[in-house]
Chains A and B, each alone.
Chain A
Amino acid sequence: MDLPHHGYRATKPRARAAPPAGDSVLFEDTSSAAPAMNSQGYYTSGYNMGGPSDDMQGGGGMNNLFADPVANAAMMYGSNLANQGKDMVNKEISRFMSVNKLKYFFAVDTRYVLKKLMILMFPYTHQDWEVRYHRDTPLTPRQDVNASDLYIPTMAFITYILLAGMALGIQKRFSPEVLGLCASTALVWVIIEVLVMLLSLYLLTVHTDLSTFDLIAYSGYKYVGMIFTVLCGLLFGSDGYFVALAWSSFALMFFIVRSLKMKILPSLSSDSMGMGSNAKPQLRLYITVASALFQPIIIYWLTSHLVR
């Protein structure tokens, strides 16, 4: 019983000699402090009277570690290094995607989310599909219900994964690997759809202000329909599943066609010749309709195995 205690005190000088190595002091601290705390607590509870001098020395050693100027300076250097690393990571990330633009997509509030969910499920009575601008910049989702956001797709995606896990658990087919597989499959389909949309928009030289995040948002709105479909399938059986599938497919197709029509179709260039743009509106219409038709297929593909 005394051996680990001696071992603890024997390793203490070694730990205190190591800190001036720079930022490794952060790792040294936790690895030597945690078992020190554990063994400290154990031995103080087990042996209250047996060895008060030992405990004092152990506690004094701990305080000395933090009051030791060398360890203090090393810790400050380590935290400085960590801050520099964080700044560098932020700079690198902002080279690939602008964080400000991402913040625009998450500027939502409850009223917007509720209205958008209602539009996604029942878009037939929504009159005005125009995205409002404010001096050349689109309005945030808080102020304009037609603006696309990334909050609903993200939350719907996560809810879909959890719902898939629950559906599989109800049918006693659950295992953690299946959950990861379902999540990565859905993510891959989103990536494929966004890439195909980007490729087709580039090939047809559609001058639109649809950014990549907008496409991710429109591609992620189908998860709301999927959640509704799976819920109805779980609650009402196979008939309910197909009814909900038809309902959410039509609603989503209507929503996508109306939204993308605003963004893709009328965006002809300012000096378009009459002859040059004959084929263009047709092809753009094909893109919009194809993207809309893809939604029910993928909804059926990703949810049919959950509702058996």
Chain B
Amino acid sequence: MAFTLYSLIQTAILCINAVAVLHEERFLSKIGWGVDQSVGGFGDEPGIKVQLMNLIRSVRTVMRVPLIAVNSVCIVLLLLFG
């Protein structure tokens, strides 16, 4: 399994795209992972599920705009250079 740095970048872009594609009201709320269902635990031990939901929500919020730019650049480069 020989990795190059390019394959690492590809993996990262694919994973972040996968997280960004999860729709809030069609999917996450259906399985109980929506943003309105995360205010359960008080105290400072939120639990894995709440942390994961927070992580998904923050990745989606932060990465929405940069992903547009990065994906466009990737599409152009792949079209040009295969």
A182 closest partner in B (C-beta): B2
The answer to whether residues A185 and B3 also contact, given A202-B55, A273-B43, A276-B43 and a CB cut-off of 8 A, is yes
Which residues of A have CB within 8 Å of B52? 203
- Contact (Cβ within 8 A) A188 B7: yes
User: Does A187 sit at the interface, judged by CB under 8 A?
Assistant: yes
User: Which residue of B2, B8, B44 contacts A181 across the interface (Cβ within 8 Å)?
Assistant: B2
Which of chain B's residues have a CB closer than 8 A to the CB of A204?
48, 51
- Which interface class (under 10, 10 to 19, 20 to 34, 35 or more) fits B? 10 to 19
| Contact between chains at A203 and B55 (CB < 8 Å) | yes
Contact partner of B4 (CB less than 8 A), chosen from A181, A191, A203, is A181
**In the bound complex, what is the Cα–Cα distance between A273 and B41 (angstroms)?**
13
Does B32 sit within 8 A of A, measured CB to CB? Answer: no
Q: When the two chains form the complex, which single residue of B5, B7, B45 contacts A280, counting CB atoms closer than 8 Å? A: B45
Chain B residues with Cβ below 8 Å from A143 are: none
Q: A202-B55, A203-B55 are in contact. Are A269 and B45 (CB under 8 A)?
A: yes
A184-195: CB near B (< 8 Å → 1, else 0) gives 110111011000
Closest beta carbon of chain B to A186's beta carbon, Å? 9
Q: A184-B3, A203-B52, A205-B51 are in contact. Are A277 and B45 (CB under 8 A)?
A: yes
Produce 1/0 per residue, A275-298, CB < 8 A to B.
011001000000000000000000
The residue of chain A having its C-beta at the shortest distance from the C-beta of B5 within the complex is: A184
Interface set, chain A 167-210, CB cutoff 8 A to B? 181, 184-185, 187-189, 191-192, 202-205
**Which residues of chain B come closer than 8 Å to A211, judged between CB atoms?**
none
Q: Classify chain A's interface size.
A: 20 to 34
Q: Is A272 an interface residue (CB 8 A)?
A: yes
Residues of B within 8 A of A (CB): 1-5, 7-8, 43-46, 48, 51-52, 55
What's the nearest-Cβ distance from chain A to residue B18, in Å?
Answer: 15
Q: How far is the CA of A203 from the CA of B5 in the complex (A)?
A: 26
- Decide: B45 and A272 in contact? CB cutoff 8 A: yes
The distance from the CB of B63 to the nearest CB of chain A, in whole angstroms, is 15
A sample of 5 inter-chain contacts (CB < 8 A) reads A187-B5, A188-B5, A191-B8, A202-B51, A272-B45
Sorted nearest first, the 5 A-B pairs with minimum C-beta distance are: A188-B3, A276-B45, A185-B3, A203-B51, A188-B8
Residues of B within 8 A of A184 (CB): 3-5
Complex: A202 Cα to B44 Cα, angstroms: 13
Closest to A280 in B: B45
Bound-state Cα–Cα, A203 to B3, Å: 27
Whole-angstrom distance from the CB of B56 to the nearest CB of chain A?
Answer: 11
Nearest CB in chain A: distance from B45 CB, A: 4
A45 CA to B43 CA, complexed, in Å: 85
B44: chain A residues within 8 A (beta carbon): 205, 269, 271
Closest-CB distance, B72 to chain A (whole angstroms): 24
Q: Which residues of A contact B7 (CB under 8 A)?
A: 188
